[in-house]
Amino acid sequence: MLSSVLTSGFFWRAILAGSFLAVACGLLGVFLVLRQDSMISHGLSHLAFAGIVLGLVLNFLPLIVSLIICVVGSIFILKLKKQARLPGDAALAILASGGMALAIFLVSLRINFGVELMGYLFGDILAISPVEVGLSIILALMVTILILANYHQLLYMTFDRETALVAGVKVNSLDKILVILTAITVVLGLRIVGLLLVSALTVVPAAAALQLARSFRQTLVLSSLFSLFSIIAGIVISYVLDWPASASIVFLSIAIFLATVAGKNLAPSFKK
């Protein structure tokens, strides 16, 4: 069994794409959770799904179509939040339901989606193609590099937005960068864990890291490690036990989260 795992191209492609995505999710998630934007990935995932369906209907690279729609949608969320004076999650609810309505409408145009569509709903990392692996690595690297390059400014504005604005931090540009990076990550995550679980990838490892971390840097490192472990171990479990990868990954990350909460409660002095 083990030897068949190690020689399987599917398996290694999944591990490779998953690992890069894991780090991007781990880093991005910390900022989303602390900015109270956790639901943004949930809203965007519905829009990303509409993009996938559109790609399938047009018979043109679903991942790319989804990426374009999701990035445009993410900018729209920001605009809606700022101009319509809506609290963040109301804008997201509008977008999520709009995205899903569009997806349902597009699905009705073509009936024979079959397994393909299910793969995007529930995730199908073991079916990821070499092109998608390449794309995932490039985009995940881009997310990671942009976050690390703007690390201090992102920390400043996440901690104290107004003061950062006065101090000359390009808060509005960084808002855009963060939301676009989230859109990219969501589209990549869609392939791996599917629409229904993609927001777990960005939120759960970060939430676990927040329980233990004793500095901001540590939060980012822990969140990335938790995310990396969940994705790699989740893929291995799914391959060996024939479980769905998406469920294994999210189970593991939630198990880590619960363990950190329990650990913190058992040792209340740990954080001091």
Partner 1 sequence: MASKIIETQDELDKKKEVIKVESVYFSYDGPLILEDINLSLHRADFLAIIGPNGSGKTTLLKIMVGLLKPQAGQVFLFGQRIEDFEDWYKVAYIQQNATHFESKFPVTVEEVITSSLYASRKIKGSPAGWRKARVEQVLDLVDLAGYQKRLMTTLSGGQQQRVLIARALATEPEVMLLDEPTTGVDHQTQENFYDLLGKLNHDYGLSIAVVTHDYGLVNKHINQVACLNRKLIYHGRHEEFCQSAAFKELLADGHHLVIHQH
Nearest by Cα to 50 from 104, 92, 110: 104
The residue from 70, 135, 164, 235 that contacts partner 1 (CB under 8 A) is 164
Q: How far is the CB of 31 from partner 1 (least distance, A)?
A: 12
Cα gap 103→156, rounded to integer Å = 38
Helix (H, G, I), strand (E, B) or coil at 240: helix
Near partner 1 in 12-41, by CB under 8 A: 34, 36
> Quick check: 269 binds partner 1 (CB under 8 A)?
no
The residue from 214, 255, 258, 270 that contacts partner 1 (CB under 8 A) is 214
> Quick check: 174 binds partner 1 (CB under 8 A)?
no
The secondary structure of 95-130, three-state, reads HHHHHHHHHHHHHHHCCCCCHHHHHHHHCCHHHCCH
Near partner 1 in 232-261, by CB under 8 A: none
The residue from 153, 202, 238, 260 that contacts partner 1 (CB under 8 A) is 153
> Quick check: 160 binds partner 1 (CB under 8 A)?
yes
- Full DSSP string of 162-189: HHHHHHT--HHHHHHHHHHHHHHHHHHH
Residues 6+ apart with CB under 8 A from 123: 190, 191, 192, 193, 194, 197, 198, 244, 245, 246
Instruction: Report the residue number, 45 or 219, with the smaller CB distance to partner 1.
Output: 219
Using CB under 8 A, which of the segments 18-26, 166-174, 179-187, 247-255 binds partner 1?
A: 166-174
- Contacts with partner 1, residue ranges (CB under 8 A): 34, 36, 152-153, 155-156, 159-160, 162-169, 210, 213-219, 271-272
